[in-house]
């Protein structure tokens, strides 16, 4: 009889252990599903907060067209400028004033709040246009940055880390662009 009692107790113990294990496993998966659902809910709630709208000035048909785009929110000004310029150069199309395959190599700032935009040589090699096209491209880059950055004063373009005389042979860019592009720019109107 002792054997029979031991077997009954073992079966009852295994049954209780199995039921308890099943309960904890189901609770774990249920909790995991709840946590996953909460993460998804939070993601949906903050999705609008993770993006921001910026204005790109795209040179088309002899004028600058303002285009609003949504991009990932960035807290630091240089990181924001970098994201804006990456989006700007994605807008390059055949026949547009924006050269194709331009890579952003870096953005730096000095104490006078002048941005240094370092671009790959494709901006020169792939630029095909006259003086007006070159002016519109420089103006578009300048206006895009000036309209989106609060701490922007001026812009200097470097190509492969070096100062360059010109992009297309028409407009001198060895100096900051504000004086070259003239009054009426977004940065100019903000400081007035």
**pLDDT per residue rounded down to tens, the chain (192 residues):** 678 888 888 888 888 888 887 777 777 666 666 666 666 655 555 554 688 899 999 988 888 899 898 888 887 888 899 999 999 998 877 667 888 899 999 999 998 889 999 999 999 998 888 999 999 999 999 999 999 988 888 999 999 999 999 888 888 999 899 888 866 555 444 444
User: How many whole angstroms separate alpha carbon 57 and alpha carbon 96?
Assistant: 13
Candidates 71, 113, 117, 110; CA nearest to 90 is 71
CA dihedral 145, 147, 150, 153 (to 10 degrees): 60
Q: Which residues pair with 56 in a beta bridge?
A: 67
User: How far is residue 150's CA from residue 115's CA, in Å, rounded to a whole number?
Assistant: 12
Q: Is the pTM of this model over 0.85?
A: no
């Amino acid at each position: 009889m002792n054997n029979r009692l031991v077997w009954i107790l073992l079966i009852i113990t295994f049954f209780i252990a199995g039921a308890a294990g099943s309960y904890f496993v189901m609770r774990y998966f249920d909790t995991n599903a709840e946590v996953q659902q909460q993460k998804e809910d939070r993601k949906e709630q903050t999705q609008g907060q993770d993006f921001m709208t910026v204005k790109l000035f795209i040179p088309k048909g002899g004028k600058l067209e303002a285009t609003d785009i949504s991009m990932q929110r960035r807290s630091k000004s240089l990181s924001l400028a970098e994201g804006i310029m990456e989006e700007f150069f994605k807008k390059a199309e055949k026949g547009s004033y924006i050269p194709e395959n331009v890579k952003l190599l870096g953005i730096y700032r000095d104490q006078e709040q002048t941005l240094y935009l370092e671009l790959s040589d494709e901006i020169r090699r792939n630029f095909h246009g006259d003086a007006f096209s070159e002016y519109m491209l420089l103006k578009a880059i300048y206006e895009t940055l000036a309209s989106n950055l609060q701490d922007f004063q001026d812009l200097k373009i470097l190509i492969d880390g070096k100062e360059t005389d010109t992009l297309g042979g028409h407009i001198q860019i060895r100096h900051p662009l504000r004086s070259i592009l003239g009054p009426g720019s977004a940065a100019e109107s903000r400081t007035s």
